[in-house]
Structure 1
Amino acid sequence: MNDDDEASLFAQEVAGIQPLAKSEVYLGKKGAPVDFQARKRAAIMAKEADSNHLSHDYVEKVDPNDVLEYKRSGVQDGVFKRLRQGKYGIESRLDLHQRTVAQARELVYQFVEDCMRNDIRVAIIVHGKGDRTPNPDSQAMIKSYINKWLRDLDSVMAFHTAQRYHGGLGAVYVLFKKSEKARLENWEKAQKR
């Protein structure tokens, strides 16, 4: 069969078909017409409302006994060493025990936002080791996501697994950027010297 034959066969099959009027399209269960423009606007608004960019897709797994550590360029070695040793005062704490990945994602994002808004420089996130999970594929799931999420947040300058007395392998110290307000205050103090 050549292209001309196919086209004429198609034309014969669709002869007499009339397009439906827009008001005749019903996709809802109760016969209500679907307002596609309203649905599109709602989808755009929902996307804009969720400014949380933290991934909830696949993440590289870490072992329950792995040490988590990360330092952005510009963080001084001495500052990172003090963070690692737990020598900074912890100003805020987030506990993620008994949370799902989705819950943890929302809580971590909001926690970091709150820390930045309140000029918090050092916090601790308790994620647990995840070694008591019966399914080996689910072990250290929250810990694995924490390792990814904290790297993806611009306001996190560094993080390191906590000292034993602060939760050890089940917690992480987090060092945040200075807020603009804190930078200005430090600059003003330096000018007065």
Structure 2
Amino acid sequence: MANQRPPTKTPAPSPARAAPPGAEDAAFRAALAGVTRLHSDTMDLRQPGPPPVPLQSRRDQQAVMAELLMLDPGEGEMETGDEILFKRNGVQNAVMRKLRRGEYSIQAHIDLHGLTTPEAKSALSEFLRASVQRGHHCVRIVHGKGQRSPGRVPVLKPKVAHWLVQWEEVMAYISTPATDGGTGAIYVLLRQRR
């Protein structure tokens, strides 16, 4: 037992050296060099809603409708003849030919026969508003030929022609072929919704 060695001690691990102040920050910044910073750390997962309807546009449409109900075209303000037609700038002649021949599908129609002028204004205004709202492209309006009017002169025909011109959504109109009412009715082409 004399040859026994004393047990050796393993050296204790050296205490961890503390990094100099700011070294971790510098290392972190170096690791993020070249990374683009995001402006927001949240994502909006909601579905986008329908686009808002501008209040002024709605007010303008209501003002036009109110004005339509009050306007009276007066005598000789619009010359109509037997056949009536109207087209806005930009409506091609080929479109007018198709409209004249009745090649567009009629999506709605209204018959103004027997209505007084104020009743016809109101009915036409409501009809056009509903047609535009439903996205109709072509409608038919029966205004009559005036054969039961005093002097057999059409009363509603020139007024309807005048009222329609004032609607921005009305792109064109033309008297229908004889098989669909002739000069007592018109096809109206409405602006397509986008």
TM-score normalised per structure 2: 0.62
Alignment-derived partner of residue 67 in structure 2: 53
1:64–1:139: 8 Å Cα contact kept in structure 2? Answer: no
1:64–1:131: 8 Å Cα contact kept in structure 2? Answer: no
Tell me, yes or no, if structure 1 residue 174 matches structure 2 residue 185. no
Give me the identity figure in percent. Answer: 31
Q: 2:131 aligns with which of 115, 130, 135?
A: 115
Distance 1:176 1:59 in 2: 27
**Residue pairs, 1:37-186, within 5 angstroms:** 51-54=65-68, 55-56=71-72, 58-60=74-76, 66-133=82-149, 135-136=150-151, 139-180=153-194
**CA shift at 1:131, angstroms?**
2.2
Count, aligned residues? 131
Distance 2:80 2:87 in 1: 21
Moved over 2 A (4+): 48-52, 59-65
**CA shift at 1:58, angstroms?**
1.8
TM-score normalised per structure 1: 0.62
1:71–1:158: 8 Å Cα contact kept in structure 2? Answer: yes
1:62–1:143: 8 Å Cα contact kept in structure 2? Answer: no
Deviation string for 1:118-144 (max 9, x for gaps)?
0000000001000222x22x7211001
Deviation string for 1:60-115 (max 9, x for gaps)?
37789610100100111111110011111101000001000000001111111111
RMSD of the alignment, in Å?
A: 2.3
Greater Rg, structure 1 or structure 2? 2
Distance 2:147 2:80 in 1: 6
Long gaps (5+) in structure 1: 1-47, 181-193
Long gaps (5+) in structure 2: 1-61
Deviation string for 1:120-175 (max 9, x for gaps)?
00000001000222x22x72110010110111111100000001111001000000
